[in-house]
Amino acid sequence: MPRMTAQSQEAARPVEVDIEEPSEPPTAKDLSPGEVCPREPLTMRVEALLIATDRPLTEARIGEILGLEGKGAGKAVLGAIEELNREYDKTGRAFRAERLAGGWQILTLAQMGPVLNRLHTDRQRTRLSQPALETLAIIAYRSSKGGIMRAEIEAIRGVASGEVLRGLLERRLIKIVGRAEVLGRPMLYGTTKEFLKIFGLASLDDLPPVAGGQSS
């Protein structure tokens, strides 16, 4: 059997290798603060914040969220907002970034008001149940005469209306306008400005005529 030389014995020794233990993934507190999504355009990042926020954001707050540092951070954010508005104007968008309550928020253009009003009106109408609409109609046609008692509403509808009235009061579509000059002085109900706004009426005079020409 051949003998191993000193050199071969040295080569045959097991090699010790340091194996690095797998490290735990970094947590939020381990991450060093820095600019967020720095590879994305600043306009895109600012736009994302303005679209997602439910309240106005100042330039300083936007810069803080994005991790921008230095005295020029606020100026850079303002420049991005101005660039966004130029792009919105150029492409004929229905919105723009507007300064509001000391901050910035994306709002629809004023001329889009009637479109949005129609949307909100339809939503309010779809939320009202048939009993609520019936009760609201009765109250609306009697509001010009000083209001109507609950007993009168129930006499017209033929069913108890206490729950429906509470719902309409909560929605601010009706209000208590006074008390009747009868025994017990029951409350009188009338419609509100919110009712006129939702149904697109300038006043109760704009209500369509009742079949038969009677409004009581």
The residues spanned by each domain of the chain are 42-108, 115-206
CATH number of the structural domain 115-206: 1.10.10.10
Which pLDDT belongs to residue 203? Answer: 86
pLDDT by residue, tens only, the chain of 216 residues: 444 444 444 444 444 434 344 444 434 343 336 899 999 999 999 999 999 998 899 999 999 999 998 889 999 999 999 999 999 999 999 999 999 888 999 999 999 988 888 777 666 665 788 899 999 999 999 888 889 999 999 999 999 999 999 999 988 899 999 998 888 899 999 999 888 887 878 888 888 887 655 444
Both tokens of residue 39?
A: 């590879």
Token pair 């926020």 is found at 53
What are the Cα distances from residue 99, in Å, to 78, 86, 96? 11, 15, 10
pLDDT at site 212? 56
Q: What is the pLDDT of residue 126?
A: 59
Question: Using an 8 Å Cβ cutoff, are 190 and 150 in contact?
Answer: no
Judge residue 204's burial from the number of C-beta atoms within 10 Å of its C-beta, 0-12 exposed, 13-18 middle, 19 or more buried.
middle
Q: Does the fold of domain 115-206 match that of domain 42-108?
A: yes
Classify domain 42-108 at the CATH topology level. Answer: Arc Repressor Mutant, subunit A (1.10.10)
What is d(CA 45, CA 166) in angstroms, rounded to the nearest whole number? Answer: 46
Structure tokens that stand for 30 in this block? 């381990």
Show the tokens assigned to 104: 């910035």
Can you say how many angstroms the Cα of residue 175 is from the centroid of all Cα atoms in its chain?
A: 26
For the chain, the C-alpha Rg in angstroms (whole number) is 35
1: number of Cβ within 10 Å? 3
Q: Could you tell me which of 58, 55, 53, 60 has the C-alpha nearest to residue 103?
A: 58
71, two tokens: 């005295």
